[in-house]
Amino acid sequence: MMTLEDELKTLLIDALGLEDMTPADIDNQAGLFGDGLGLDSVDALELGLALQKRYQITIDPQTHNMREHFANIANLAAFVRSQQN
């Protein structure tokens, strides 16, 4: 059974077309933006839409700590869990 973190890695790869990567290539604590995977704001929008569709959650762009939620896979998993409860 896949963990939520593994599901998110697969979703990220599929949604952003990162064909050269596998879920094993992405560390749960590694940054997704900037010096980490190098994602940008367009990638963040695409990832957000994919998350909303896959997990039926609402992402409010006005949330004050949204950047922190999207910082890495571990934070993203915690955010998804909190939105599902």
pLDDT in single tens digits along all 85 residues of the chain: 789 999 999 999 999 999 899 999 999 999 999 888 999 999 999 999 999 999 999 888 777 788 899 999 999 999 999 988 7
What CATH number should be reported for the domain holding residue 11? 1.10.1200.10
21 located within any domain: no
How far is 28 from 23, CA to CA, in rounded Å?
10
Number of domains in the chain: 1
Q: Rounded to two decimals, what is the model's pTM?
A: 0.91
61 located within any domain: yes
67 located within any domain: yes
Domain of 55 in residue numbering reads as 4-16+31-84
How far is 51 from 75, CA to CA, in rounded Å?
13
25 located within any domain: no
